[in-house]
Amino acid sequence: MSCFCDINGLGKTYPTPKGPAVIVKDFDLRIEEGEFICLIGHSGCGKSTVLSMLAGLNPITEGVIILGGKELAGPGPDRGVVFQSPSLLPWLTAYENVMLGAEQVYYTASKLERHQIVEYYLSVVGLADAMHKKPGELSQGMRQRVGIARAFALSPRMLLLDEPFGMLDSLTRYELQQVLIALWNRNSITAVMVTHDVDEALFLADRIVMMTNGPEAEVGDILRVRFPRPRDRKEVLEHPDYYPMREYLIEYLSERSHRRGQFKGEVDIHTQINVARGENVIELMGSRENQGNRVNLDRQGQQASGVISSARQVRPGI
């Protein structure tokens, strides 16, 4: 396999009323052609931000993304995007929603060919009998099937998925994971999927990329998943590596994701904090904005200080 997508020094700074907020910084990742990457990390760390930059829907502040040998500049039909809810046009049927994109991508094809493509993908995702229904007549899972069909019908080289199954019940989620992986396999697409679900990541991914907590989030760790493909859920669950890998991911999310980055706390006046050597996680209790934020002080374990309204140490010296 060769490198298909090279993300180099990627950064995103959003303007905020309080000044620029550096959400993603120095995010580096090389993705092989045909690889399935799952991106996990705490809520708000910047996963969607990275994905939307890959989609070309969010301008890059720093760094570069090389996709298929070319520098990425804006959205394109080479990338299909599936979001948590598929934003279908409510006045069009499932078929017409998928056809909308197909008409643009296959503009040289005949009407019959386009019809066959759209019908094929809607059937593969299990909507053969419901393709002429409007979104309002479909369940959430069915609407998400339309979203998947729409993305695949464009024959993208890369598929970008942002928690596509996050709103579905677990049975529907399992079913759609199977649909997704079957289509990914058949079309040899490179995929990047954001998920909160470590079991989903272990079932789908070739590599699981763990992001550090923001601000200035980056790649914290990468876990390679070597379960043979095609994967059978029962076999994956029974694999001797499954639970150690699952534990590794959970341990990352609950412990190590805090370790990177430095204390750059937004600060409300009042209490002076001084933290001595050692990696200390501090929970800021002060301003509304900071409430509940866990901030790690200095990876090198040097003294760091910040002025915040109040704080309590929640995890001394991990």
Q: Give residues in contact with Mg ion (CB under 5 A).
A: 48
**Partner that binds at residue 49, options Mg ion, ligand ATP, none, CB closer than 5 to 8 Å by kind:** ligand ATP
Which residue's CB is nearer to Mg ion, number 48 or number 287? 48
DSSP state of 84: S
Nearest approach, Cβ of residue 163 and ligand ATP (Å): 7
d(CA 35, CA 69): 16
d(CA 130, CA 35): 32
* 27 three-class SS: strand
Q: Which residues lie near ligand ATP (CB under 6 A)?
A: 14, 16, 21, 23, 41, 43-49, 214
**Partner that binds at residue 29, options ligand ATP, Mg ion, none, CB closer than 5 to 8 Å by kind:** none
Nearest approach, Cβ of residue 184 and ligand ATP (Å): 22
Nearest approach, Cβ of residue 29 and Mg ion (Å): 17
Nearest approach, Cβ of residue 47 and Mg ion (Å): 5
Which residue's CB is nearer to ligand ATP, number 101 or number 214? 214
**Partner that binds at residue 44, options Mg ion, ligand ATP, none, CB closer than 5 to 8 Å by kind:** ligand ATP
**Partner that binds at residue 23, options ligand ATP, Mg ion, none, CB closer than 5 to 8 Å by kind:** ligand ATP
**Partner that binds at residue 210, options ligand ATP, Mg ion, none, CB closer than 5 to 8 Å by kind:** none
Which residue's CB is nearer to ligand ATP, number 119 or number 163? 163
Nearest to 192 by CA among 71, 59, 82: 82
Residues 6+ apart with CB under 8 A from 99: 114, 115, 118
The beta strand positions in the chain, using DSSP E, are: 3-16, 19-32, 36-40, 62-67, 70-71, 79-82, 158-162, 190-194, 207-211, 219-224, 271-275, 280-284, 294-297, 304-308, 311-315
Which residue's CB is nearer to ligand ATP, number 213 or number 280? 213
**Partner that binds at residue 46, options Mg ion, ligand ATP, none, CB closer than 5 to 8 Å by kind:** ligand ATP
Nearest approach, Cβ of residue 185 and ligand ATP (Å): 27
Residue of minimal Cβ distance to Mg ion: 48
- 143: amino acid identity, one letter: R
Checking DSSP bridges between strand 36-40 and strand 190-194, what pairing results, if any?
parallel
Nearest approach, Cβ of residue 214 and ligand ATP (Å): 6
Which residues sit opposite 159 in a β-bridge? Answer: 80, 191
d(CA 136, CA 154): 24
